[in-house]
Structure 1
Amino acid sequence: MMLVAPAIVHASEITLVPAVKLQIGDQDNRGNYWDGGNWRDHDWWDHHYERYNNHWRARYEPHHDDHHDDHHDNHGHHH
Protein backbone atom coordinates (compact mmCIF):
# COMPACT_ATOMS: atom_id res chain seq x y z
CA MET A 1 0.00 0.00 0.00
CA MET A 2 1.34 3.39 -0.98
CA LEU A 3 1.16 6.43 1.24
CA VAL A 4 0.13 9.44 -0.79
CA ALA A 5 -0.03 13.03 0.35
CA PRO A 6 -3.63 14.22 0.56
CA ALA A 7 -4.91 15.82 -2.61
CA ILE A 8 -6.43 19.28 -2.52
CA VAL A 9 -10.05 18.86 -1.54
CA HIS A 10 -13.02 21.21 -1.39
CA ALA A 11 -12.61 22.40 2.18
CA SER A 12 -13.90 25.30 4.20
CA GLU A 13 -10.38 26.68 4.41
CA ILE A 14 -7.04 26.07 2.76
CA THR A 15 -3.53 27.18 3.57
CA LEU A 16 -1.70 28.82 0.68
CA VAL A 17 1.44 29.71 2.60
CA PRO A 18 2.10 29.34 6.32
CA ALA A 19 -0.05 31.69 8.41
CA VAL A 20 -2.18 32.75 5.42
CA LYS A 21 -5.53 30.99 5.13
CA LEU A 22 -8.47 31.46 2.81
CA GLN A 23 -11.88 30.79 4.23
CA ILE A 24 -15.14 30.52 2.35
CA GLY A 25 -16.48 34.02 1.94
CA ASP A 26 -13.09 35.74 2.02
CA GLN A 27 -12.71 38.51 -0.56
CA ASP A 28 -9.76 39.39 -2.75
CA ASN A 29 -8.70 42.95 -3.56
CA ARG A 30 -11.19 43.04 -6.46
CA GLY A 31 -14.14 42.09 -4.24
CA ASN A 32 -14.46 38.50 -5.47
CA TYR A 33 -15.47 35.84 -2.94
CA TRP A 34 -13.65 32.55 -2.28
CA ASP A 35 -15.96 29.49 -2.42
CA GLY A 36 -13.35 26.89 -1.47
CA GLY A 37 -12.21 26.22 -5.02
CA ASN A 38 -12.74 29.36 -7.10
CA TRP A 39 -13.04 33.12 -6.85
CA ARG A 40 -16.62 34.20 -7.57
CA ASP A 41 -17.94 37.64 -8.41
CA HIS A 42 -20.48 39.38 -6.18
CA ASP A 43 -23.53 38.52 -8.31
CA TRP A 44 -22.65 34.82 -8.44
CA TRP A 45 -21.91 34.80 -4.72
CA ASP A 46 -25.14 36.57 -3.83
CA HIS A 47 -27.16 33.96 -5.75
CA HIS A 48 -25.38 30.95 -4.21
CA TYR A 49 -24.40 31.91 -0.63
CA GLU A 50 -25.98 33.69 2.30
CA ARG A 51 -24.92 34.74 5.79
CA TYR A 52 -26.25 32.46 8.51
CA ASN A 53 -25.23 32.47 12.19
CA ASN A 54 -22.21 34.64 11.40
CA HIS A 55 -20.83 32.41 8.63
CA TRP A 56 -21.48 31.74 4.96
CA ARG A 57 -23.60 28.84 3.83
CA ALA A 58 -24.77 27.66 0.41
CA ARG A 59 -28.28 28.65 -0.52
CA TYR A 60 -30.53 25.61 -0.99
CA GLU A 61 -33.61 27.34 -2.38
CA PRO A 62 -33.29 28.13 -6.08
CA HIS A 63 -33.98 31.72 -7.05
CA HIS A 64 -37.04 32.46 -9.13
CA ASP A 65 -34.92 33.50 -12.11
CA ASP A 66 -32.62 30.45 -12.14
CA HIS A 67 -34.72 27.74 -13.78
CA HIS A 68 -38.26 27.53 -15.05
CA ASP A 69 -40.17 24.41 -15.93
CA ASP A 70 -40.87 24.28 -19.66
CA HIS A 71 -44.59 23.67 -19.22
CA HIS A 72 -44.95 27.06 -17.51
CA ASP A 73 -43.66 28.96 -20.55
CA ASN A 74 -46.83 28.71 -22.65
CA HIS A 75 -49.49 30.27 -20.43
CA GLY A 76 -52.67 31.16 -22.27
CA HIS A 77 -51.73 29.34 -25.48
CA HIS A 78 -54.43 26.69 -25.51
CA HIS A 79 -55.23 25.10 -28.87
Structure 2
Amino acid sequence: MLFQRLTSVANNAYAEEDWHIMASAFGIASFLLQRSIGIDRNAGRLAREIMRLFNTGLRDVNKIATLAADRERLMG
Protein backbone atom coordinates (compact mmCIF):
# COMPACT_ATOMS: atom_id res chain seq x y z
CA MET A 1 0.00 0.00 0.00
CA LEU A 2 1.48 3.34 -1.09
CA PHE A 3 0.41 5.21 2.03
CA GLN A 4 2.20 2.78 4.31
CA ARG A 5 5.41 3.03 2.28
CA LEU A 6 5.31 6.83 2.50
CA THR A 7 5.15 6.76 6.29
CA SER A 8 7.95 4.24 6.91
CA VAL A 9 5.95 2.83 9.81
CA ALA A 10 5.74 -0.89 10.48
CA ASN A 11 2.60 -2.50 9.09
CA ASN A 12 1.69 -3.91 12.48
CA ALA A 13 1.85 -0.48 14.16
CA TYR A 14 -1.83 0.07 13.34
CA ALA A 15 -4.84 -2.13 12.76
CA GLU A 16 -5.89 -2.75 9.16
CA GLU A 17 -8.95 -0.51 9.60
CA ASP A 18 -6.72 2.33 10.86
CA TRP A 19 -4.49 2.04 7.78
CA HIS A 20 -7.60 2.12 5.62
CA ILE A 21 -8.83 5.33 7.28
CA MET A 22 -5.46 7.03 6.84
CA ALA A 23 -5.02 5.84 3.24
CA SER A 24 -8.52 7.03 2.36
CA ALA A 25 -7.84 10.42 3.91
CA PHE A 26 -4.59 10.59 1.94
CA GLY A 27 -6.41 9.92 -1.32
CA ILE A 28 -9.04 12.56 -0.60
CA ALA A 29 -6.47 15.13 0.52
CA SER A 30 -4.44 14.50 -2.64
CA PHE A 31 -7.57 15.03 -4.70
CA LEU A 32 -8.37 18.27 -2.84
CA LEU A 33 -4.83 19.47 -3.53
CA GLN A 34 -5.07 18.30 -7.16
CA ARG A 35 -1.93 16.21 -6.78
CA SER A 36 -1.03 12.88 -8.24
CA ILE A 37 -0.71 10.33 -5.45
CA GLY A 38 2.15 8.43 -7.06
CA ILE A 39 4.44 11.28 -8.13
CA ASP A 40 3.85 14.15 -5.71
CA ARG A 41 7.19 15.19 -4.22
CA ASN A 42 5.44 16.25 -0.99
CA ALA A 43 3.42 13.06 -0.61
CA GLY A 44 5.47 11.92 2.37
CA ARG A 45 4.86 15.19 4.20
CA LEU A 46 1.12 14.92 3.53
CA ALA A 47 1.09 11.29 4.71
CA ARG A 48 2.87 12.23 7.94
CA GLU A 49 0.37 15.02 8.57
CA ILE A 50 -2.52 12.62 8.07
CA MET A 51 -0.90 10.19 10.49
CA ARG A 52 -0.35 13.00 13.01
CA LEU A 53 -4.02 13.99 12.81
CA PHE A 54 -5.09 10.37 13.15
CA ASN A 55 -2.89 10.01 16.22
CA THR A 56 -4.69 12.94 17.88
CA GLY A 57 -7.83 10.82 17.89
CA LEU A 58 -9.54 11.98 14.71
CA ARG A 59 -11.24 9.14 12.83
CA ASP A 60 -13.44 11.00 10.35
CA VAL A 61 -11.81 10.46 6.96
CA ASN A 62 -13.12 13.69 5.43
CA LYS A 63 -12.14 15.79 8.46
CA ILE A 64 -8.61 14.36 8.44
CA ALA A 65 -8.32 14.92 4.68
CA THR A 66 -9.58 18.51 4.85
CA LEU A 67 -7.33 19.47 7.76
CA ALA A 68 -4.30 17.84 6.15
CA ALA A 69 -4.97 19.54 2.81
CA ASP A 70 -5.40 22.91 4.53
CA ARG A 71 -2.11 22.46 6.35
CA GLU A 72 -0.36 21.37 3.17
CA ARG A 73 -1.57 24.51 1.37
CA LEU A 74 0.03 26.58 4.12
CA MET A 75 3.30 24.66 3.75
CA GLY A 76 3.29 25.33 0.03
Question: What is the TM-score with the length of structure 2 in the denominator?
Answer: 0.23
> In proportion to residue count, which structure has more helix?
2
Higher relative contact order (CA 8 A, sep 6+): 2
Question: What is the TM-score with the length of structure 1 in the denominator?
Answer: 0.22
